[in-house]
Amino acid sequence: MNNTSQDNRDFLNPNFNVNTFLVTTKLFCCSLGIPLNLQIVKTIIRLLRLGYKSRHIFLLSVFVSYLLTFVHPLVELTYCAILPLECGEFVCVVLVVISGLPHALLLLNMCLALTDRFLAIKFPLMHQNKMTSRLAKSTIIVCNISLVFHLKFVYIMGIAPLRCEIWLVHITVVELTILILFVSYIILSVVVYRQTEGRFRASETSRTPGGAFDQEMVVIAGGIVTESRQLTTYGSEFLDARPLRNRSANNVRPAAEPVPVDRDLEASRSLVMVIPLVLTVCPLLILLLAFLFCQLSSQFDCSIFTWLVTYFKELSLIQAVYNPLIFLWKNEELRKALLAIN
């Protein structure tokens, strides 16, 4: 970005960098990331049509957000492919409109998905009864629209003219919002990871290799009788084996099927990808904050930050490629569904 204000430093102009390294990086990431994320989105939509749980809706919003991160490089590649002099102003305005939105929406949807996993582990019965598909969709839509309105409030309400310039106040709002979402994501990831690991250890200790015996509370003629039953485990599902002693069909109310928690726990653990996101987003966020401080202080040369931000920005694009790969590696359910479609 370059300064363009003569009397003050209230706004900046976007600076297009079209060197070979950046163009090659954008082409490589887009050619790999867009088909990969599209295939995952198609798989999740198919799972939703088969009647899967609301957690797949939150998962779908995460991968749609990954796809949105490729909008910015696609616009820049379009600018490089055609004559810049003919539509440079229009491309610049488009970049101003979408600046900061993809990464903020990605962090927001990941926070929503982790919050859903937290509620599913902490309050399983309440989550199962209350978190419907309609509620999940409404939550995602309302939160995303609210975030877009918050980040682009100055343009939506006409406070600032929509031109080829980025106001420093707008940059400050975007960076602080991303910082808050980033810290929230780290906190939620740590909390969900600790809960998931605890539940995994508890589920592992409650089983034996050949099957385990558990106790069941059965209501018989108004009284409560404790009866043993055998649980057999196949993969991540609990299957009821035949009871050890016969029951009368007239006076026994069948106990509820145990909830298969392993699949939900696996989904929760696969959502926790703190380290890759920290390695890609954190350096860029630090550089952006340092660049903003440099612009506001007006005592330093900020050209070095402009150069560094240009290259570190590509890290956030690379994570939109390998994070889905990590997710597929950790989430067996989605991986099998993806392979089955292909």
Crossing angle between the packed helical segments 133-151 and 168-205, to the nearest 10 degrees: 150
Mean pLDDT over 156-162 rounds to 80
Distance CA 256, CA 258 (A): 6
> Contact, 41 vs 64, CB < 8 A?
yes
- Confidence class for position 324, pLDDT limits 50, 70, 90: confident
What is the DSSP track for 121-136? HHSHHHHHHH--HHHH
- Residues 284, 306, 169: CA angle, nearest 5 degrees: 75
Residue 239, pLDDT > 90, answer: no
Class of domain 2-205+260-341: mainly alpha
For residue 267, the model assigns a pLDDT of 60
Ranked by mean pLDDT, the top range of 43-47, 75-79, 158-162, 290-294 is 43-47
> Contact, 168 vs 12, CB < 8 A?
yes
Q: Give domain limits for the chain.
A: 2-205+260-341
Residue 144, pLDDT > 90, answer: yes
What percent of the chain clears pLDDT 70, i.e. is strictly above it? 60
* 63 Cβ neighbours under 8 A, 6+ residues apart: 37, 40, 41, 44, 324
> Contact, 80 vs 18, CB < 8 A?
yes
What percent of the chain clears pLDDT 90, i.e. is strictly above it? 14
Residue 52, pLDDT > 80, answer: no
Strands 166-167, 212-220: pairing is unpaired
Phi/psi of residue 25, nearest 5 degrees: -65, -45
H-helix or E-strand spanning residue 166: strand 166-167
For residue 160, the model assigns a pLDDT of 76
For residue 342, the model assigns a pLDDT of 65
Q: Three-state DSSP class for 152?
A: coil
Residue closest to 119 by CA, chosen among 190, 203, 188 = 188
Distance CA 295, CA 301 (A): 9
- Confidence class for position 85, pLDDT limits 50, 70, 90: low
Mean pLDDT of the chain: 72
* 221 Cβ neighbours under 8 A, 6+ residues apart: 251
Mean pLDDT over 76-89 rounds to 68
Does residue 189 or residue 89 have the better pLDDT? Answer: 189
Distance CA 139, CA 58 (A): 9
- Confidence class for position 333, pLDDT limits 50, 70, 90: confident
Q: How far is CA 224 from CA 243, 246, 255, 256, 308, in A?
A: 17, 16, 12, 15, 69
**In which order are the strands placed within the sheet that holds 166-167?**
2-3, 11-13, 166-167
- Confidence class for position 15, pLDDT limits 50, 70, 90: low
Task: Render the burial of 148-176: b for 16+ CB within 10 Å, e for the rest.
Answer: eeebbeebeeeebeeebbbbbebbebbbe
For residue 191, the model assigns a pLDDT of 86
Distance CA 136, CA 55 (A): 8
Distance CA 90, CA 164 (A): 8
Distance CA 143, CA 122 (A): 22
